[in-house]
Homo-oligomer: A and B are copies of this chain.
Amino acid sequence: MPGIITLAHGSGGRGTYEILESLILSHLSDPMKRIEGGVGVDELDDGAAIPLPDGKYVVFSIDAYTVNPPFFPGGNIGELAASGTINDILMMGAKPLAILDSIVVEEGYPISELRQITNSMLEILKRYDIKLIGGDFKAMPRGNLDKILITTAGMGIAEHLIIDSNLAPGDKIIISGTIAEHGAAILAAQEGLKVEGRLKSDTEPLVDLMLPLLENYGEFIHAAQDPTRGGIAEVLNEWASKSNLLIRVSEGDVPIREEVRSFTELMGIDPFNLACEGRAVLAVDPRVAEEVLRFIRDLGFSDASIVGNAEESSRYGGNVVLKTVAGGLRLLERPTGSIVPRIC
């Protein structure tokens, strides 16, 4: 793979997969990619897992957070860095226990703004009693970094792992809330649009959704992911591809706020490709899917909806098919760099 790094390599979609495969995955033997019996780097899941002697798993995840602007309607990069990693741990089926943070700041950045960012991060950790057990702090010379980059590593314990490749035929796909809120809010901020609260990031840790869900329905949740880079189009395509199943989605059932829909239409962007930072996509055993949906709504996630299902298909296995509001069918493609707007 000659050439140079493009933004598409960081889109979270096919470009990211290809560069990871070329630079990392293809150079490691299978035993080098995981602790035996655990989940390794080649699963490309939300995190890694290491088996414990008692049958549980320690789950780890790492993620670098850059966002432009670092303060946006509905949150800031500190909230994002805490929520994102907490959500990655949760989506592996684990209870988040601790994080480590690495903050890199550009020389000249106002300490008052940095304080708002760290306060937001700490507030989230305190709310859910997730310990900050270690960290790193560095400054880079002016011009060498655009403001701030925060990397968080999270750690949790799972009774049962949720592995995205466990998607099973018949599974119902549930989305926990309205989509594309984060992506739309960031894009609007970048465009300088005065949206006055009509577009607002959904950045939020999903502890209050996932812990009760894991406790009551853990074994029935076959796959779980937070649809960040590449949005739900990316998540559903990853799932379909890993399990070689066809996923059908009914566009009219996908919860989306009217303001977000209008904004994406105005911008000519597919909201299915836009990041959420406080939503879960779940694949649930069909025998309990309706019950799980009621349970989720009763937890306060009132926009949660069943949006589709997974099925075997010799012809379309590995794909995601969208039934449009107009009644047509179209492939919901895996996002590539050119169609995912850059939000960081």
Contacts and interface: CB of A to CB of B under 8 A. Distances in A.
A131 B35 contact: yes
A62 B118 contact: no
Contacts of A114: 5, 23
A61 interface: yes
Nearest to A17: B137
Given A4-B109, A146-B145, A60 B139 contact: no
Given A62-B100, A153-B153, A137 B27 contact: no
Measured as residues with beta carbon below 8 angstroms from the partner, the interface class of chain A is 35 or more
Interface string A99-126: 0111011111111101100110010011
Given A9-B139, A107-B5, A122-B27, A134 B64 contact: no
A215 interface: no
Interface in A190-241: none
- Chain A interface, DSSP helix/strand/loop, else mixed: mixed
A339 to B, nearest CB: 16
A140 interface: yes
B138 A24 contact: no
Contacts of A100: 41, 48, 60-62, 153
A16 B199 CA distance: 37
